[in-house]
Structure 1
Amino acid sequence: MPVVQRPYLALLLRLAAAFCLATLIMLVKVAAESGIAFPEILFWRTIITLPILAGWLAARGQIHRLRTRRMPVHLRRAAMGLVGMMMTFSAPILLPLAEATTLGFTTPIFAVLLSTMLLRERIGPWRWGAVLAGFAGILVIAQPGHAHMPLAGTAVGLGGALMVALISIQIRDLARTEEPIAIVFWFSFWASVIYTLALPFFVSGHTAGQWTLLVTIGVLGCAAQLLLTASLQLGQVASVIVMDYSSLVWATLYGWLVWDRLPPSTTWMGAPLIIGAGALIAWREHRLAKRVSPVSMVAAD
């Protein structure tokens, strides 16, 4: 039975998802600065999702929704997702929040390039123009050769956006046969298995405040994935994806409240170019009745 489209509710859900993700990234940065090892942060980010999703499905008598005949594909997706997650969460540790968030908006730009190289899709002047505008925005923000944006942090931020775009292609394939909740669950399962193997090398004692941070990170990550999925079921991708850019507002606010730092003028000059490029790509894909990366944030975060 098809899901009834509820566009206004979809927008609100996507807005809530953007808030959860921005808060999640802020807490990851706080947790890392408090002394918690990065691999352990990622472990708790993924493993808490498992009992939440499994418990919810079991309570509704729908545990069968996790069945899959494509486990090797889920495993490959998890391996790539781990790399993407590490880069996505490393960027705000290495960079100010607003700048790291803005670099994450380059995912649609990389999705266009990957569609050309991997899927052999024909890209017209609108989207090529958006790609050029997006990379111009990156140059304005990064200011190569200046200390404002460390080269390593910029590379990690862009690498994370590239991985999210690449993973979105995998998810487009998985979504042909798998439910979104199953894709999320099996990613979290295999990621948790891999992180469990590494955990003995990084685990340490924590204060009550640090444990609160870790649990909140896990819960927010699961909530964001569910909200993103629900928004895509109730509304069209090109309509709801514009709400993702609201995370820049939260990142700027958190940067000011927690670290007493506001973005420099170069960020305010470059961000509109990147955001405009992403919005143009989403609009053009909608016009062409295609879906570029509807669950990209679900995939990586």
Structure 2
Amino acid sequence: MSDVVAPSEHASKPPAANPRLAVVLMLSATAFIAGTTLMAKALGTDALGDPLHPLQVSHGRFVFAFLFYAGVASAMRLKIRRPAWGLHLGRTFFGWLGATCMFAAAAYIPHSDATAISFLNPVFAMMLAIPFLGERVGPVRWAAAGIALIGAMVLLRPTPESFQLAALVALAAAVAMGFELIFIKKLAGREPPLQILLINNAIGVVIATIAVIAFWQGPSLAQWAVLASLGICMALAQACFINAVARAEASFVAPFAYATLVFATLYDWVVFAQLPDLISYLGAGIIVSGAALLAWREAGLATRQKA
């Protein structure tokens, strides 16, 4: 795919608009993202040997993603220029926390449920933007948030017979990723995307290495291969996403992110012979409806600001 470019400060001009390629890239990103949680599920269960701790899974994710971006940065001779270290540290900490919680949840609840709950992260980001970014939230945004949170309550199955504690861990992942989005907003436009991704994964390696020391166990050869694949898939997902939004309006490509649920369900069915139940479909549908309403509102606001 020769039209795909790596994010770099050395690009002379933005790539030409190409909505069709943008859709392909966004769908590729969702397939990679769903794949990372699928691999985390395999590593966190006995599918490949003794289960690995979620902290070790997130450690592998950052190590191999960092090696990927270090290779890209070296090939492109990237020069690190004036990084905002405080913002990078905050963004990476919450990204690491969100990934660890998501990987832990994926081992115990259906892949599609964990993915659906993760769609709450823009809702939490919206709420957090009020105190941290000084943004004002109107009734449509609050309605969208309320709808999505109702969907989360459905997926949490809050009854003594069916309550799943792991769903709360997935909810914590969404909150952490909401905080991460706040830091990403603060970093946006300050530094080249490749520099942001390289520093993000480098700091992530340090945090994840310190956190995993007490829980480290020797992975099997198969687990090493899956850990490497997980990290590379995450790096490719980030690259596909950046290239997608560079070629089309964010409001155009954002709805295609919901294909992650489709891939998550498909992977669960093919690999684990596990299909969502009626409650899962209902909760996921409500969350997606709320998130879609929020995306539509954001797109409308962006259009008016450009006018």
Q: Percent identity?
A: 30
1:170 corresponding residue in structure 2: 183
1:100 corresponding residue in structure 2: 114
Q: Which runs of 5+ in 1 are unaligned?
A: 291-301
Output the CA distance in 1 between the equivalents of 2:129 and 2:89: 23
Closer/same/farther in 2, CA of residues 238 and 149 from structure 1, 3 Å limit: farther
How does 1:208-227 map onto structure 2 within 5 Å? 208-227=221-240
Output the CA distance in 1 between the equivalents of 2:300 and 2:212: 47
Count of equivalent residues = 287
TM superposition outliers: structure 1 runs of 4+ over 4 Å: none
Q: Deviations over 1:233-255 (max 9, x none)?
A: 22222211111111111211222
Output the CA distance in 2 between the equivalents of 1:140 and 1:229: 32
1:189: Cα distance to partner?
A: 0.5
1:196: Cα distance to partner?
A: 2.5
Task: Answer whether contact 1:78 1:191 (CA < 8 A) is retained.
Answer: yes
Partner SS, residue 302 of structure 2? coil
Closer/same/farther in 2, CA of residues 285 and 200 from structure 1, 3 Å limit: closer
Output the CA distance in 1 between the equivalents of 2:168 and 2:189: 32
TM-score by length of 1: 0.88
Q: Deviations over 1:113-136 (max 9, x none)?
A: 222333332222222221221122
Q: After the TM superposition, which of the residue ranges 66-75 and 12-21 deviates more from structure 2? A: 66-75
1:47: Cα distance to partner?
A: 1.2
Task: Answer whether contact 1:88 1:157 (CA < 8 A) is retained.
Answer: yes
Output the CA distance in 2 between the equivalents of 1:184 and 1:202: 26
Q: After the TM superposition, which of the residue ranges 239-248 and 105-114 deviates more from structure 2? A: 105-114
Letter in 1 for 2:122: P
Partner SS, residue 288 of structure 1? helix
Task: Answer whether contact 2:39 2:230 (CA < 8 A) is retained.
Answer: yes
Closer/same/farther in 2, CA of residues 175 and 99 from structure 1, 3 Å limit: same
Output the CA distance in 2 between the equivalents of 1:72 and 1:280: 33
Letter in 2 for 1:33: T
Task: Answer whether contact 1:54 1:63 (CA < 8 A) is retained.
Answer: no
Closer/same/farther in 2, CA of residues 76 and 271 from structure 1, 3 Å limit: closer
Task: Answer whether contact 1:43 1:196 (CA < 8 A) is retained.
Answer: yes
1:52 corresponding residue in structure 2: 68
2:290 corresponding residue in structure 1: 277
2:159 corresponding residue in structure 1: 145
**Are 2:133 and 1:115 equivalent residues in the alignment?**
no
TM-score by length of 2: 0.87
1:181 corresponding residue in structure 2: 194
How does 1:55-134 map onto structure 2 within 5 Å? 55-60=71-76, 62-64=77-79, 66-134=80-148
Partner SS, residue 217 of structure 2? coil
**Are 2:243 and 1:230 equivalent residues in the alignment?**
yes
Output the CA distance in 2 between the equivalents of 1:20 and 1:135: 26
Q: Which runs of 5+ in 2 are unaligned?
A: 1-12
Output the CA distance in 1 between the equivalents of 2:14 and 2:274: 46
Letter in 2 for 1:104: S
**Are 2:27 and 1:12 equivalent residues in the alignment?**
no
